[in-house]
């Protein structure tokens, strides 16, 4: 793996002395004899936000699903806060939001979030009404999914993932199906929401700019079988407003990530 770095403002200090939020050791995964992921070694510290980028089919979503306990590694080990993913899920420590919002069509936005709490049975949950209001959805509480815009559906989807206050949030292309303007607004919105909690987050995205805007480190995956081909550290201020995103440092990080992605695809 190539490690790429850039000088600049120091990133927020992470809780590196504690148990890592995520630790993948020599993880490989095969489906029907076809190797999808090979030899992944990855450590995510508590409070860190990392992004995974790579070509379609390189195993990004598969890796995320293994972290969520939805798939099992063919070999190797994944630990979430020092325990198996299934145990972390049972302890309500993981929240997941995929590209296609998993909302129940016959329930309103508020009812969908309440249903999540009923399923998780969390004792340390946020108030669903307060969460949706904080997410700017106070006028959409009683609307059904088909009555919501794509951006509103995704905000409800993320609210469902966050309402039980998971220590780890897994996001799989949450804004991939949205138009560019809506996507940019929701990226800014998500950055603000997560900044308030310092929640450990892993984001899968095809957008290099999105990865650099949100994360503390960007990991580039190779073509299938997916491996970690490069790591780009993002030493930017926590608040990355429009001015920061127009800076030469930000644009240089985007170029570094894009160059690493092209190199990974060429290998």
180-198: average pLDDT: 82
Confidence at residue 136, expressed as pLDDT on a 0 to 100 scale: 87
- Establish whether the linkage from the previous residue to 176 is cis, with ω within 30° of 0: no
What SS3 state is found at 66? helix
- Where b means 16+ CB within 10 Å and e means fewer, 70-82 reads bbebeebebbbbe
Query: How far is residue 188 CA from its own chain's centroid?
Result: 14
Confidence at residue 8, expressed as pLDDT on a 0 to 100 scale: 36
Q: Which of 94-108, 110-124, 248-262 has the lowest mean pLDDT?
A: 110-124
Rounded Cα–Cα distance for residues 27 and 60 (Å): 13
% the chain with pLDDT above 70: 93
Rounded Cα–Cα distance for residues 171 and 182 (Å): 17
Q: Is the pLDDT of residue 14 over 70?
A: no
Q: Is the pLDDT of residue 6 over 70?
A: no
Across all residues in the chain, what is the average pLDDT? Answer: 89
Q: Is the pLDDT of residue 233 over 80?
A: yes
Q: 59 with 29: CB under 8 angstroms?
A: yes
Domain boundaries, the chain: 46-58+90-266
pLDDT tens track for 30-62: 999 999 999 999 999 999 999 999 999 999 999
CATH topology of domain 46-58+90-266: Rossmann fold (3.40.50)
Question: What percent of the residues of the chain are helix, what percent strand, and what percent coil, each to the nearest 5?
Answer: 35, 25, 40
77-93: average pLDDT: 95
206-232: average pLDDT: 96
23-29: average pLDDT: 98
Confidence at residue 5, expressed as pLDDT on a 0 to 100 scale: 39
Confidence at residue 1, expressed as pLDDT on a 0 to 100 scale: 52
Residue among 215, 73, 89 at smallest CA distance from 81: 89
122-144: average pLDDT: 87
| Strand pairing category for 2-4 and 228-233 | parallel
Q: Is the pLDDT of residue 2 over 50?
A: no
Task: Give Cα separations from 218 to 36, 117, 213, 250, 266 (angstroms).
Answer: 20, 32, 10, 13, 19
Residue among 133, 190, 125, 151 at smallest CA distance from 141: 133
The confidence band for 119, taking pLDDT boundaries of 50, 70 and 90, is confident
Q: Is the pLDDT of residue 197 over 50?
A: yes
Confidence at residue 11, expressed as pLDDT on a 0 to 100 scale: 40
Rounded Cα–Cα distance for residues 65 and 53 (Å): 15
């Amino acid at each position: 793996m190539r490690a790429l770095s850039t000088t600049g403002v120091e990133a927020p200090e992470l809780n590196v002395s504690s148990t890592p939020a995520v630790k993948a050791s020599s993880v490989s995964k095969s489906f029907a004899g076809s190797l999808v992921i090979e030899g992944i070694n990855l450590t995510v510290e508590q409070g860190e936000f990392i992004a995974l980028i790579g070509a379609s089919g390189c195993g990004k979503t598969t890796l995320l699903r293994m972290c969520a306990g939805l798939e099992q590694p063919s070999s190797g080990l994944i630990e979430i806060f020092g325990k198996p993913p299934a145990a972390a899920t049972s302890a309500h420590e993981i929240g997941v939001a995929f590209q296609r919002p998993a909302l129940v069509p016959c329930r309103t936005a508020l009812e969908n979030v309440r249903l999540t709490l009923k399923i998780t049975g969390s004792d340390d949950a946020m108030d669903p009404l307060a969460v949706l209001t904080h997410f700017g959805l106070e006028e959409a509480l009683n609307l059904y999914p088909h009555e919501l815009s794509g951006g509103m559906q995704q905000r409800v989807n993320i609210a469902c993932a966050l309402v039980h206050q998971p220590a780890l949030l897994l996001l799989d292309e949450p804004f991939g199906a949205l138009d560019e303007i809506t996507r940019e607004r929701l990226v800014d919105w998500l950055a603000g929401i997560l900044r308030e909690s310092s929640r450990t987050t892993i984001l899968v995205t095809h957008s290099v700019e999105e990865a650099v805007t949100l994360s503390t480190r960007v990991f580039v995956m190779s073509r299938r079988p997916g491996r970690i081909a490069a790591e780009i550290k993002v030493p930017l201020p926590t608040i990355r407003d429009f001015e920061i995103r127009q800076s030469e440092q930000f644009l240089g990080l985007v170029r570094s990530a894009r160059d690493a992605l092209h190199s990974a695809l060429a290998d």
